[in-house]
Amino acid sequence: MDLSHLDKKYFIDAHIYNCPFCKRNNVSYALIDTFSFHWGENKTCYGYIVRCDSNGCEKTSMHLSFQELRVYSRHSGHSNRFMDGLDIDAALFFSQPTSYFVLDNRIPEKVRELIYEAENSRKSNYLVGASACLRKAIYEMLEHEKSIVKNPKTGYADYQASIKSLKEKFTNVASELFDALGHTQEMASDNVHEGSWEAWDSPKLRFIIELTKATLHEMYVVPEERKERLGLLGQMKSAFSNSKNQTENIEEKEDVK
């Protein structure tokens, strides 16, 4: 299964990005404001306010970095755009909204909040917090779907059995997603219940966060969008058959003549 879409970027380059609000891809944006402040004694944080140029969107997002990312020239100082050839996403440690793949509000709110928290913690390099939030988000999702299967011996939730029961419930979701979640060994560990959690490293954490988001999207957003599309198709179909009946009536009348 192709999971490359999980690596979707926020900023493509100094002019083009994927808007988290209107969800249009490859649209132009403007860097409309910047600020900086002392994060600590010897550390400066740079803030960037970016506005979507899409017609009717024009929403603004905020991005933080420990680097000055704008073009600098000796004559005119800092320009109002990011440097060319820079991996902007990699240079940012915090964005609000968090990423292109903003979680749809059809996903249960508690789960969404925990995913945001996991994502922000990961970006700020708080890996223990991020790992804990992500585990909590997955358990929250299992609980929301009443899919927690308890191990009769320990009385604790059996992670793999719970994910399996979720997989059986959501048959429309690609089973690879649940399998990948189920095989995240650290999740299944008994330590999960003890609070003595080990933090995952950042790339692994990022992958599991994106995997969880993709699964949530398939569970809660795709089926609703499909329903909407089918509803629309039904309306078009009935409009079409009405107009067809009218044409047939006209043809019949013409035959009579």
**Nearest Cα to 137, choosing from 211, 218, 223, 221?**
211
The nearer residue to Zn ion, 34 or 54, going by C-beta atoms, is 54
The nearer residue to Zn ion, 19 or 111, going by C-beta atoms, is 19
The nearer residue to Zn ion, 58 or 186, going by C-beta atoms, is 58
As measured in angstroms, the least distance from the Cβ of 48 to Zn ion is 16
As measured in angstroms, the least distance from the Cβ of 52 to Zn ion is 3
As measured in angstroms, the least distance from the Cβ of 7 to Zn ion is 21
Structure tokens, 119? 């994502």
For residue 50, list its beta bridge partners. Answer: 31, 61
> What distance in Å separates the CA atoms of residue 96 and residue 113, rounded to the nearest whole number?
13
> What distance in Å separates the CA atoms of residue 234 and residue 220, rounded to the nearest whole number?
22
As measured in angstroms, the least distance from the Cβ of 171 to Zn ion is 34
The nearer residue to Zn ion, 33 or 190, going by C-beta atoms, is 33
As measured in angstroms, the least distance from the Cβ of 59 to Zn ion is 6
Structure tokens, 255? 């035959």
The nearer residue to Zn ion, 55 or 196, going by C-beta atoms, is 55
As measured in angstroms, the least distance from the Cβ of 161 to Zn ion is 42
For residue 96, list its beta bridge partners. Answer: 62
Residues near Zn ion (CB under 5 A) are 19, 21-22, 52, 54, 57
The nearer residue to Zn ion, 22 or 174, going by C-beta atoms, is 22
